[in-house]
Chain A
């Protein structure tokens, strides 16, 4: 049986851990609210943009001169996967689930004989893929030390991706991130970025009922698409970043809530143990005194 002193130390150490996890939970809850509001606020732009893309892309997709960002460059050899993770850990399975999903996808594509390149957003993804897929990483971004994610951040990432695409570094680009479903659940999901028409087909409802033919287009569809496509890419990345940021805080909140509860249970068990040991000691001493007195 452990000594009283050891038990006391153990209890106080678990107590201070509990204080930390409780504080982290509360911080995550506050940040979650902010992140959710930000994601909510950004949604109108993304939906309107999707609607406009839908109206334009429909007409342009059959056009032989359609921009490569929209219809792809015809090849399907090299895939780029953009993995969005958090910069910090202690968020339960948040980072590892998206990393594992992305790794499984890389393996699957490679089994099909494709080449794979990676672009990591967030420090945790970079650290994970540096271990065994270092040579595949063509770029990375993180938001260490940043309070909020701004649209300019997403735009910078989009620019790097478009530049790599135009340089012929890859043919098809997919974005993988944790979609925020609720505080308790974040689901790893993926969105096709390049060619954009693949994504368009998937959410065709967005542009339903609108056709390019119904619209006058100024200056002309080619020029407009040239401007709209990189913009659309940035918007999709931005909303993924925001979803992921909200998901991160949700995951951390849940994880820290569990940790706080577990610490509480542990303290109860240790306290019980401590009291039992203390009483056993007292009883033992009493017996010693009494038997000593009887021996006289």
Chain B
């Protein structure tokens, strides 16, 4: 033990010639222009046609480029071209194929044609799929059995090449969405909208009923009627009817380009057995390329040397200018050379490493909230003095997410359109105090929702006119939840005075379905039970695993259940579709979990969904929201607020929760980081010396005892 300790001591004292001993990164990275981030779970997919999660988008958003992106500074969220020369030309045709004007009624539009003009001169990242020999043949396609003898790791592909982005790559990528090999999650929605998509999917499934993982399905041999290449830099996409939200899909990685040669490269025998797949080595034209891919340890993105000339936005609001967000206006992107994502499964080491300066950003877990955030007298959050001394700053943003509690409208007690059921839902909606929930469980990181539309989305209104009159009222100009007496009155009117059925006298017992797990699960349930207990309603929790919970929702066997929705795109249609009757989960397997159906609402939805963001659309949305507030199929819950801590060496950034390619706008000061890391992480030496002395004394005592015993035995 003693020897081991001294060995460790020597290693620490001699091996660590660096000023800090606890630097988790290789010495070669010291002082580099690298951004350090963490990931808690490895992303399931990085193939842009399959990936559909925030953690995956954080990585592929920097690698691949769909045709459009969101303006970094402009609010409300606005689409701008990314690889396109300009925004898509949209042309509408009637059923006879005759062009219509842009203001033509949606019902008259039989087809929409999106014409996309690419910017010439955009090149892909260096990649072995593009590598060619002197004869112009691809180096690594097709691969021979002998070539595999030298290919074991990704780094063994020593030759790289590139090629220019063309319209054919987008056409190929859209066809890939229909491939049975891809399993694209949005194939259903795209089949309903892109002309010929359904037919292509059926044809591919017929021709390749059991595609092997390494089988190359050459999609150039198939035609997708609604998507065609016009010339090298132009393509057209034909949609059924009018679908204005399609532009938002064009800003998502699903529509990132995939050249045919890349697909062919990855579908060669032996590729998947080496984990060389598009899922783990994505290819793109974006600002970064994946240079190290170990999803169990570390993923490194490095600057793409072929990145096209994109510049930081020149225009922003005066507030943006005041916050220094226009300081980099017009400068070429990206600013950072490398991005390192390290596996950090637990929040405690993640938080401590952030405090030591080894992560550049951190979220705030409930455990460390009080250490990080203090609230001033006005209720505004600030970082605590300790963190302020380190130069750490806080940025907050309301996420385009709604977290709600829904009633199953098919349930015989809480569902249906009867006055009795509606009043019961309204009473419960008043009783469940989400302000309290936000304070207790979220440390104030949420905004009580008055409707399903979050802030930042067209249709959201934060004026008093927008309040939910069923659950809130204005007191001295302030929004306040209605008193519990209002809920009790509604409950009595519904036929449940004091929580008992007026006809049978039986207590009202309701069931609460949820997937709560972990240490807070019981607290969540107890809190919910206590809210309904204020109305003398007995709430019984039915916690189940995710599969069983989803199963119950699909079969409509829930009564009251938890739910959440994260926006696909910043359009109210994405949220209001969650109440559209034909989207009912029970009848059509759609996204309307509550199985809400109101013909008046459905008619307004059909009218609103294809409109541009005009005052008329806003007025219709308000009508729809009023219907929902009265019918109360959901307790609208809250909109989560994201709190992110940023180190002093990170330049000003603007929260942009809807976009996923924003790392290119971040810049950092590596010298300041190095200086602070050194200052914050000087090792404390005295305990080493103290332990050495204690061990020495212990050894000496043992030796003395032994000597004494030996002497005693000898005498």
Partners in one complex: no
A interface residue numbers (CB < 8 A to B)? none
